[in-house]
Amino acid sequence: MANTPPHLLLVATGGTIAGRAAHAEDNLGYRAGELGVAELVAAVPALAGVPLRTLQLAQIDSKDMSHALWQALVRLLAAELARDEVVGVVITHGTDTLEETAFFLQRVLAPAKPVVLTAAMRPATSLQADGPQNLVDAVTVARTPGARGVLLAFAGQVHAGDEVRKVDAYRLQAFDSAPAGPVALVEEGRVLPLRPWPQGQALGAALCDWPLARWPRVAWITSHAGFDAALVDAAVAAGFDGLVLAGTGNGTLHAELEAAADRAAQAGVALRLSTRCASGRVVGDLARSRAASAESSAAQARVALLLDLLAKAATPSTPSSISA
């Protein structure tokens, strides 16, 4: 747009932050994504003077996040971030799959400008509504000079998009990024950096233009007591291209899962090893022998494997780094 002054873009996708319940004391029986982006902004007086352009991309519960919406989001961000007048982007999102979206966007775009996701654990109608403050903090981070990369602003902390994970199902302090911890804090409108902003080598938005029908099928399967190998065998029979195996402890697998994983590898399915533990990643000899994921959660490992397989499909002449 010609002569458009510098501004932030606020992209709304739904989630609890836009949720509505029948009663203010009800923090559970709400419908996610009920409020539009205009209503979200109007409810936060602190945003009144902020140069902000809004866009409603979706109104979903993030448990239903899809590859199609990721594709649309990447296309939108790639176009908007290329514009000089767009100084940063804020995305409202549900908490359930936020860590997957944040990881995906950082790997694909690794933006030089800030792309700040935010969310809420209480609906907008709640007496404990945390969305307004989280939204203000996200805008503050996105306007911070030098900020870059995909980030999450939530409960006074700022996490790197490729490190964050949801760690609590109900408490307001629902996200963490152990072992490194947050990259910054937000205190009374001030951003206090703790370590460098996330950087990385972008895979490129063009990767996501690959037709959705041809995106690899990747799932994760968790090892547990009494494991039934039929789970893995069924995934292989159904034509899954990759599997993330979330092992116990340091990636150890039930004997039934171990044998099924070997069969899957022989069938050409790409495997990655992760852990079902709340923190840490697989290390040591097992990590090397089973192509352990460098990511700290099975959710992130699934996205990483998806992107690796997508890159391999898009450029079949390029050797893959995937071990099976």
Within 13 A of 311's CA, how many CA atoms are on the CB side? 17
Share of the chain above pLDDT 70, in %: 95
Distance in angstroms (rounded) separating the CA atoms of residues 261 and 69: 31
Q: Is 97 marked active-site?
A: no
Give 272-283 as a DSSP string. EEEE-SSS----
For residue 267, is pLDDT > 50? Answer: yes
The edge-to-edge listing of strands for the beta sheet with 114-118 is: 52-60, 7-14, 86-92, 114-118, 149-154, 157-160, 184-187, 190-193
Share of the chain above pLDDT 90, in %: 87
DSSP class of residue 248?
B
Confidence of residue 17 (pLDDT cuts 50, 70, 90): very high
For residue 210, is pLDDT > 90? Answer: no
Report, as an integer, the average pLDDT of 135-145: 98
What topology is assigned to 213-314 in CATH? Rossmann fold (3.40.50)
Give the model's pLDDT for residue 28: 93
Give the model's pLDDT for residue 314: 76
Cβ atoms of 246 and 277 within 8 Å: the answer is no
Return the axis-axis angle of helices 98-109 and 298-314, rounded to nearest 10°: 40
CATH code for the structural domain at 7-193:
3.40.50.1170
Return the bridge partners of 185, or none: 157, 192
Give the model's pLDDT for residue 288: 66
pLDDT in tens, 253-263: 999 999 999 99
For residue 311, is pLDDT > 80? Answer: yes
Give the model's pLDDT for residue 53: 98
* 152 phi, psi to nearest 5 deg: -120, 125
For residue 138, is pLDDT > 50? Answer: yes
Give the model's pLDDT for residue 96: 97
For residue 324, is pLDDT > 80? Answer: no
Core vs surface per residue 71-109: b (16+ CB within 10 A) or e: bebbebbbebbeeeebbbbbbbbbbbbbbbbbbbbbbbb
DSSP class of residue 252?
B
Least confident of 47-51, 63-67, 163-167, 317-321: 317-321
Give the model's pLDDT for residue 126: 97
Tokens representing 115 are: 């792309």
Give the model's pLDDT for residue 315: 72
Tokens representing 196 are: 């460098």
Domain ranges of the chain: 7-193, 213-314
For residue 139, is pLDDT > 70? Answer: yes
Give 293-312 as a DSSP string. -SSSSHHHHHHHHHHHHHHH
Residues written for the chain: 324
Cβ atoms of 54 and 135 within 8 Å: the answer is no
Give the model's pLDDT for residue 318: 43
Give the model's pLDDT for residue 319: 41
Distance in angstroms (rounded) separating the CA atoms of residues 254 and 119: 36
Active-site residue among 16, 101, 125, 275?
16
Please name the amino acid found at residue 50: V
Confidence of residue 320 (pLDDT cuts 50, 70, 90): very low
What is the chain's mean pLDDT, rounded? 93
Report, as an integer, the average pLDDT of 194-206: 96
Q: Do domains 7-193 and 213-314 have the same CATH topology?
A: yes
Confidence of residue 2 (pLDDT cuts 50, 70, 90): low
DSSP class of residue 123?
-
pLDDT in tens, 215-226: 999 999 999 999
For residue 117, is pLDDT > 90? Answer: yes
pLDDT in tens, 52-108: 999 999 999 999 999 999 999 999 999 999 999 999 999 999 999 999 999 999 999
Report, as an integer, the average pLDDT of 11-37: 96
